[in-house]
Amino acid sequence: MAQNPPNNRPNGDDDDNNQQDPFSAMFGQLFGGGFDPNNLPPQLRDALGAQGDPEAMQKMMQQAQAMMSAMMSNNASSGPVNWKLASDTALQAYASDDPSVSESRQSAIKDASNLADLWLNNSTTFESNGQVTEAWTRKRWYDKTLGTWKQVTEPVAESVATAITAAMKEQIPEEMKGMLANSDGMFRNLGASMFGMQLGTALGGLATDVLGGTDIGLPLAGSTPGIIATNVAKFGEGLEIPEQEVLLYIILRENAHARLFARVPWLSSKLIGAVESYARGIHIDMSRIEEAVRDIDPSNPEALQSMLGEGLFTPQRTAQQEKALENLELTLALIEGWVDHVVSLAAANLPFAAHLRETMRRRRASGGPAESAFASLVGLELRPRKLREAAALWQHLYEERGIDGRDAVWDHPDLMPTGEDLKNPTTFTERRELADTEFDDFDAALDKLLSGDFDNVDPLTDGDDSGKPTDPNSPEDPEK
């Protein structure tokens, strides 16, 4: 885009000293007195339900003002995410439709949880931790999962904030750099507020969509199994399946996840570690940002819309990040595949079990709008794309080894199936047997060494069978 000609300058001022710098102009148009929600990209207006709705437009204005107020506050954020703003924004997404759970509904969930645990006892060796599935409102889900969201998103936000702060500082006009020499705090507050508002929108959307604490593959609520009663009821609408059967199936999945995470202690840290590994490598193309901001015409709303719609702040993935995402995707597939298989065994007597299984598979593979919003924010898609292949692997191991042998695969992270194993389950068995043999040989050799059974061989030994040391200066035949 070309530089602004003189007749396009704000206020029609031709004096270079009075021309507003592009970066300030851009944010002034977004959040200043001239802010017009109609100038937002159509996709964003549609997502917020603001198209043609004055009340929604007003709410959008209030959100923008709240973000700017938080940015200007010295105490707006003590970290890379303004969590107060995130919580306030999330609340707006679900507060209007978040009924409390009735006593009769709580009783039904408790009964279904007890029955689910009895059935799971026959399909896995992993025992229940004794906790009954809790009945949550959407707010309760948000509160229970907030700690994990902080752990997952703050490394991402920190990397993004650092990159964006550096890019913004580059756009400070020379005559203002002295005055804004200590502007890092202000810029970080801006980043924390922007990220907090976007994250709050995404989490608020998830609160209206997810079914429980493990619905996206992460142990969001720790070891406590729980379901969002309102969301489960809405999920069952239109399926033409008895409500109690839908409830029991969802609780079977939630409790199976809870057992797996409780009995495989390294699993949660592996998932979080993959996210953190991804976050450490975040890189934003700052030259692209600088070029776009430098060339933007503040008086041209269409150009601003175009810039915002181009994914300008989307992180550029590195090879290390691609590897981290590959590991995360594989782990999620193994988790979801195991739960899918175990629940299919536990729910064998449910009339609509096969239908519910396929519905859940498609739901997890495709994700929903809220999950997509979260993915676009942090660059992570928490979808097990190879769920069916993973379920087939666990089915094969069950047929080959039984329940005990299948669940024993989770004993150590280094011996977990690989992507190649998902393509052909028999290669996993062959690889495991070879690894076990090598490990046994190493143990035997180590025991022999520690017990002193090995000969004390001198380094000068020439390697003949006698084991006698050889002096390199002596004749070849010592008897000559």
The stretch 182-199 carries a mean pLDDT of 78
In terms of residues, how long is the chain? 480
The per-residue pLDDT for 198 is: 83
What's the per-residue H, E or C state across 371-415?
HHHHHHHHCCCCCCCCHHHHHHHHHHHHHHHHHHHHHHHHHCHHH
pLDDT digits (tens, 9 = 90+) for 309-358: 444 555 567 787 788 788 888 999 999 999 999 999 999 999 999 999 99
Beta partners for residue 283, in sequence order: 316
Written as six digits, the tokens of 53 are 């709705």
The pLDDT > 70 percentage for the chain reads 61
Kindly report the backbone phi and psi dihedral angles of residue 33, in degrees, each rounded to the nearest multiple of 5, phi listed first. -65, -25
pLDDT score of 218 more than 80: yes
pLDDT score of 24 more than 70: no
Q: Which of 86-100, 189-203, 366-380, 400-414 has the lowest mean pLDDT?
A: 366-380
Q: How buried is 403 (Cβ within 10 angstroms: 0-12 exposed, 13-18 middle, 19+ buried)?
A: middle
Contact 257, 215 (CB under 8 A): no
Range ranked top by mean pLDDT from 87-96, 278-287, 362-371 = 87-96
The per-residue pLDDT for 462 is: 47
Query: Rounded mean pLDDT of the chain?
Result: 76
pLDDT score of 149 more than 80: yes
pLDDT score of 191 more than 60: yes
The per-residue pLDDT for 333 is: 92
pLDDT digits (tens, 9 = 90+) for 47-62: 444 445 556 555 555 5
The stretch 99-123 carries a mean pLDDT of 96
The stretch 358-382 carries a mean pLDDT of 74
Written as six digits, the tokens of 20 are 């507003």
pLDDT score of 132 more than 70: yes
The per-residue pLDDT for 157 is: 82
Distance from chain centroid for Cα 420: 24
Written as six digits, the tokens of 178 are 């002295």
The pLDDT > 90 percentage for the chain reads 36
Higher pLDDT, 329 or 374: 329
The per-residue pLDDT for 1 is: 42
Higher pLDDT, 478 or 279: 279
Hey, where are the domains in the chain? 73-283+318-378, 387-450
Q: Which of 66-75, 188-197, 316-325 has the lowest mean pLDDT?
A: 66-75
pLDDT digits (tens, 9 = 90+) for 248-298: 999 999 999 999 999 999 999 888 887 777 776 666 665 665 566 566 555
The terminus-to-terminus CA distance of the chain in angstroms comes to: 93
The answer to pTM > 0.85 is no
Written as six digits, the tokens of 105 are 């509904």
Q: In angstroms, rounded to a whole number, what is the distance separating the alpha carbons of residues 369 and 147?
A: 23
At residue 8 the predicted structure's pLDDT band, cuts being 50, 70 and 90, is very low
The per-residue pLDDT for 29 is: 37
pLDDT score of 10 more than 60: no
The per-residue pLDDT for 237 is: 93
At residue 454 the predicted structure's pLDDT band, cuts being 50, 70 and 90, is low
The stretch 201-227 carries a mean pLDDT of 90
